[in-house]
Every structure is written in C-alpha cells, then in structure tokens.
Amino acid sequence: MKRKTVCFALLFLTLVSNTAFAANWVYYGRSAIVRGNVFIDSDSVYKNGDNASYWQLLVYDKPIGTAAKLTTKYEVILAPARKYRIADSRYYLANNQEDKEMNEW
C-alpha cells in the first residue's frame, strides 16, 4: 500500500510540475548588418493565414558593449506587401544571463 502511495505521489508531482520548453535553434546564416551568426527557433515558428511569428537569435562575433547575444521576436504579415514588426527583443551576456544594462535601452 505504501509503495502505491509513493508511486502515485511521484506521478502526480511529475504531471503537475512546471514544464520548461527548450528552444530548437537552427542555423540560418550570417547577419548582413552586424557581424554574427543568425539562428531561428524552429519550435517557435507559428503561422496563421497570412500572419507568422518566430524568434531569432543573433550571436555576435565580438560582444557589443556587454551584450553577446540578442533574441528578437518577429511578427510578419505574409501578404504581397510584406511587413514585419519586432514584438520583443532581449540582450544576453555570454553566460546566457539577461543583460540588464542593454535591456534598459
């Protein structure tokens, strides 16, 4: 009986616990504006009719200030007059911690 209770408790905790979603960064190419490599999170690509959104990661060759990486969420209209907007962007240090100094800009 005790064993069943422990197994049920473990099962319950794994089902109820918070889930962390990892990004699946796929190499896209070199940046034309800033020297660095560009990656797209293939798990975040979402398309709904003529609208799409995705996350992009730019890893700088040399840090700019204190920032070594930049993540940007793009929302795109895929109609003939294509338009996009930046919905969110965040700078990160080389150790993957948020760069509070750059993010305050």
* Mean model confidence pLDDT for the chain: 84
Confidence of residue 18 (pLDDT cuts 50, 70, 90): very low
Amino acid letter, 31 = S
- Looking at per-residue confidence, does 23 or 18 come out higher? 23
Instruction: Please list the residues that pair with 27 across neighbouring strands.
Output: 39
Rounded CA separation 7/70 (Å): 43
In this prediction the pTM is 0.73
Confidence of residue 12 (pLDDT cuts 50, 70, 90): low
Rounded CA separation 15/40 (Å): 30
Q: How many CB atoms lie within 10 A of CB 4?
A: 8
52-90 pLDDT, tens per residue?
Answer: 999 999 999 999 888 999 999 999 999 888 899 999 999
**Highest averaged pLDDT of the listed ranges 2-11, 14-23, 24-33:** 24-33
Angle (nearest 5°) at CA 35 between 33 and 41: 85
The pLDDT of residue 101 is 77
Rounded CA separation 85/67 (Å): 22
The pLDDT of residue 103 is 76
- Looking at per-residue confidence, does 15 or 82 come out higher? 82
Q: Which of 51, 54, 20 is nearest to 39 (CA)?
A: 54
What sign does the dihedral 60-75-21-25 (CA atoms) show? negative
